[in-house]
Chain A
Amino acid sequence: MRILMFGWEFPPHITGGLGTACFGLTKGLSKHGVEMMFVVPKAYGDEDQRAVRILNASDISFDLEDSEYKEFWANIKYMEVGSNIIPYVDPVEFSKVFEDNKKTGEKYTSNVFSKRYEFSGAYGVNLMEEVARYALIGSGIAAKEKHDIIHAHDWLTYPAGIAAKKASGKPLVVHMHATEFDRTGGDVNQVVYDMEREGMEAADRVITVSNLTRKVVIEKYGIDPGKVVTVHNAVDQAVSKEIIEIKRKMKEKVVTFLGRITYQKGPEYFIEAAYKILQKDNNVRFVMAGSGDMLNKMIERVAHLKIADKFHFTGFLKGDDVTNMFALSDVFVMPSVSEPFGIVPLEAMRSNVPVVISKQSGVAEVLKHAFKVDFWDVDAMADSIYGLCHYDGLSNMFKEYGKIEVENLKWENSAKEVKKVYESVL
């Protein structure tokens, strides 16, 4: 079985959960003998004008050298399409980045505390143009490369999926990692919504990452429930050997939020819960790791509440810094307002960190050893955090059983479910 897969990003250039999920899923599929061609958009810079670039394992700097990784590369063909598509940016933000880029004539990079977007002036003026360009090249690849099924991840790649289906006539599977409702909290961008709906309507199967998302897809997009299948995400197990014990000099308990600082992730509820705890207990530090359009507002809020000596911002973290952050943490909190799945709590649990997650997250469907609170219920959130900071019996239990729970959430198992979906449309 050979899959033509369209994604956004691929390690080591990961800025969010989607890249992590795609990587895990493709690794899992390769274990089940599925072959893949993985296509991602990538800004090359002005010096490289090729439309498509095929990369070998050796072209990618990557620190995993185990046998699993080698096996994975045997089953995958990885292609980059010259493009400006920037992950997790909406059309409005894209045009702003583009304008800034034009004005300064410099490669766009945000400040030191934010993640750096790579942006090259060589491509399209707006995001939709880029998406269309990506689709065009996608259909070219579909016409040339042999495959049995097309699999597209999230809306930016749906036009590419649809175009590929038209070119090769093979069945299309679209994967909903998030909906426009999750990203915007209801203030939906009609263009994006339409693209999501068209993708799902054109698809033979729709995979949702949780029942929560499945419900949204059926109710808000009117998709035929018969073709919508939930396959929960999993967490990469290979990294567990990397868990490091950091000798921590900080005496306080450390409570961490790690994610994009956007409306969807509910950062403000984390701050309010932190404030409640710090009124009673000065022996805790809070960390907000990540970057996003609400970062400055959050910094102002923390300053206003006068808790900035106990509430820290790290900016965008990746790679080892994420591992270090977990190693320093006693509690991980994901207060998302709307989270289709949410892999980060699983990564935290894998690193022996107990978690508090919002009930409005897909991952809440698969976890038992986690506190689940409504995102808006900062009192309950504060209670849970306080409990995990102070009652060792509780946190030890969460660590022990949580780890077992996470170890059973293997990408291999999720991939098996995805393979079943493939088989159902062949």
Chain B
Amino acid sequence: MRSICFYFQVHQPYRLRNYRFFDIAEKHDYFDDYNNSFIMRKVAKKSYLPMNNILLDLIKEYGSAFKVSFSISGSAIDQFEEYAPEVLESFKKLADTGNVEFMAETYSHSLAALISKEEFQRQVEMHTHKIQQHFGKKPTTFRNTELIYSDRIGEMVADMGYKLMLSEGAKHVLGWRSPNYMYASAVRPELKLLLKNFLLSDDIAFRFSQQSWEGWPLTAEKFVDWLNKSNESEETINLFMDYETFGEHQWAETGIFDFMKSLPKRVFSHSDFGFATPSELAKKLQAVSPISVPNEISWADEERDLTAWLGNDLQDEAFEKLYNLYEKVKECDDPQIWKDWLYLQTSDHFYYMCTKWFSDGDVHKYFNPYGTPYDAFVNYMNVLSDFIIRVNENTKFGKEGYEGVKQSASDLYDKTSEAVKDTVKRANKKVKDAAVKSKEIKFEDIKDMSNAAVKKLLKEIDVEEMTAALKGAEKEVMEKIIPNLNKNAKKKYEELQSELKKINKKEINKYRKRVEDKIAEIFGK
């Protein structure tokens, strides 16, 4: 039996309020509580609640034959908790039937996979935790924000242990191949890939109410005919779309709810198709072929690439400045910073800055709070500037504030005074050593003495003794002493020279010692 695999994306961003330059460093509330609550309540009433009831009724009617899957972003769940708890309850009822699979994604519907493996994994873990907490089961299928996929992202997802991931059946990747089979990552074959059949998906999501479309009006009969036209060997028709399609993008008046109510009956009566969840397909189907995706694909716009979120100067600047903060955010311990960090990463903020609007304007305008991408950019950057200030203040040095600076200064003072004491100690020792050394006066030191000092010395010493001490002395010592001898002494010195021939070294040293002692006596203190 061939399968129809429904996957619905449920997401609401935390939209920013009009945050002005004057608010920077002054106010730290970034989100438009009024508007977010208003939109959430409106979409809940028009879409989430009625559609959940329809699905619940269908499951009651057909039992395990009817199945769907969801990915609900963390920021949507947070807003359910805050503004529309009854929606969460109704999703729980769906979970309790066992026919509904909930998938894993990044908590804040972010683009983290494109820039940081670590942050990407952290957000996925946060999200799976949240899903398990509310719906009781840990997700086993992964789908990335906006179905963004590449070989590199597949590798990260496989590293986290997932065996199946959803993506877009982009023409430029598949070429002649059909999206209606199970594929696998070219770099990590253990990761299977389910690809969106964008023709049939978009017939429901985008063209359903388009009166100019040749398929209009779309009925369950017509849709099942189209399903039957697909090749019989094909395994699965993957119908992936925003959940807001039902009741919000396509209003109730278009008959979208009636279409969904009647579709399963027609499928069961007029085709060999059944319904399956992604994880069931992962167990059942073998990959027919690996696909290689070197550049990121997504389900957005005609291009099926990243240009809805990144690529123009506004988007790149905002994205870069946001993720430049990552290393610092990691150091922060303020839970509010972590919360804001999550919500500021939501891809919608970058989507609002998109300047290629004119072809996909309608989708981009959906609940877009800004008049122009420039407004979106300016507002986001104002918020981000304040966030940067907060992050910087919360990291180690900033966080400790005045007290921290005072402590550092005091530590520095202590360290310095220790160092000063040490230096003084060492200096004193040096001086002392020098003083001790200076007491051990050598005979040769005479050459460094002033003439006055030499004269003073010569007055205190017999010329005979000095003559003996000078025997064989250095030339510089001689030159210092002989000119300083008075006339008589010089004469005596000359006379004594012949007598000195016999004198031995020992005696010379004895006389020298006397001279040294004399110098110490006169000058050494």
Contacts and interface: CB of A to CB of B under 8 A. Distances in A.
Interface of A: 111-113, 248-251, 285, 287, 289, 295-296, 299-300, 302-304, 306, 308-310, 312-315, 321, 324, 328
A287 B374 contact: no
A282 to B, nearest CB: 11
Helix, strand, loop or mixed for chain B's interface?
A: helix
A251 B382 CA distance: 15
A303 B377 contact: yes
Contacts of B388: 309
The 5 closest A-B pairs by CB, nearest first: A111-B371, A303-B317, A303-B313, A249-B25, A304-B313
B321 A300 contact: no
B68 interface: no
Interface residues of B, number: 28
B384 interface: yes
Contact of B25 (A250, A295, A296, A313): A250
B25 A308 contact: no
B375 A112 contact: yes
B260 interface: no
A303 B371 contact: no
B328 interface: no
B402 interface: no
B378 A299 contact: yes
B24 A313 contact: no
20 contacts: A111-B370, A113-B371, A113-B375, A248-B25, A285-B385, A289-B21, A296-B372, A299-B314, A299-B377, A300-B374, A303-B312, A303-B313, A303-B317, A308-B377, A309-B384, A309-B385, A310-B385, A312-B378, A312-B385, A328-B22
Nearest to A296: B374
B21 A314 contact: yes
Nearest to A311: B381
Contacts of B385: 285, 309-310, 312
B26 interface: yes
A295 B374 contact: yes
Given A309-B388, A314-B20, 10 more contacts: A111-B375, A112-B18, A251-B25, A308-B321, A310-B385, A312-B21, A312-B24, A313-B21, A314-B21, A324-B22
Contact of A113 (B22, B314, B318, B378): B378
Interface in B265-290: none
Interface in B303-346: 312-314, 316-318, 320-321
A44 to B, nearest CB: 27
A111 B318 CA distance: 21
Interface string B342-375: 0000000000000000000000000000111011
A328 to B, nearest CB: 8
B361 to A, nearest CB: 16
B321 A309 contact: yes
A112 B371 contact: yes
Contacts of A313: 21, 378
Contacts of A111: 370-372, 375
B113 to A, nearest CB: 23
Interface in B1-51: 18, 20-22, 24-26
A241 B292 CA distance: 70
B369 to A, nearest CB: 10
A20 to B, nearest CB: 22
Contacts of B24: 250, 312
Contacts of B375: 111-113
B320 A306 contact: yes
Contacts of A309: 321, 381, 384-385, 388
A191 B374 CA distance: 33
Contacts of A295: 374
Contact of B26 (A249, A289, A300, A306): A249
Contacts of B20: 314
B318 A308 contact: yes
A330 B382 CA distance: 19
A290 to B, nearest CB: 12
A302 B321 CA distance: 13
Nearest to A247: B26
Contact of A306 (B18, B317, B378, B389): B317
B374 A299 contact: yes
Among A296, A300, A308: residue with most chain B CB under 10 A = A308
Given A313-B378, A314-B20, A314-B21, A308 B372 contact: no
A308 B20 CA distance: 14
A295 B26 CA distance: 25
B143 to A, nearest CB: 31
Contacts of A289: 21
Contact of B21 (A251, A287, A306, A308): A287
Contacts of A296: 372, 374
B25 A300 contact: no
Nearest to B314: A303
A111 B389 CA distance: 28
A109 to B, nearest CB: 10
A312 B25 contact: no
Nearest to A297: B374
Nearest to B388: A309
A59 B388 CA distance: 46
B518 to A, nearest CB: 65
Contacts of A299: 314, 374, 377-378
Given A287-B21, A295-B374, A303-B313, A308 B26 contact: no
Contacts of B381: 308-309, 312
Among B25, B317, B385: residue with most chain A CB under 10 A = B317
B382 A303 contact: no
A321 B321 CA distance: 28
Contacts of A312: 21, 24, 378, 381-382, 385
B278 to A, nearest CB: 39
A108 to B, nearest CB: 13
Contacts of B317: 302-304, 306, 308
Contacts of B378: 113, 299, 312-313, 315
A173 to B, nearest CB: 41
A398 B378 CA distance: 32
Contacts of A310: 385
Contacts of A303: 312-314, 316-318, 377
A321 B314 contact: no
Contacts of B22: 314, 321, 324, 328
A321 B18 CA distance: 15
B23 to A, nearest CB: 11
B236 to A, nearest CB: 43
B287 to A, nearest CB: 42
B313 A300 contact: yes
Contacts of A113: 371, 374-375, 378
A70 B510 CA distance: 114
A309 B312 CA distance: 17
B395 to A, nearest CB: 15
Contacts of B18: 112
B415 to A, nearest CB: 27
A328 B384 CA distance: 19
A289 B318 CA distance: 20
Contacts of B382: 312
A306 B318 CA distance: 9
A400 to B, nearest CB: 27
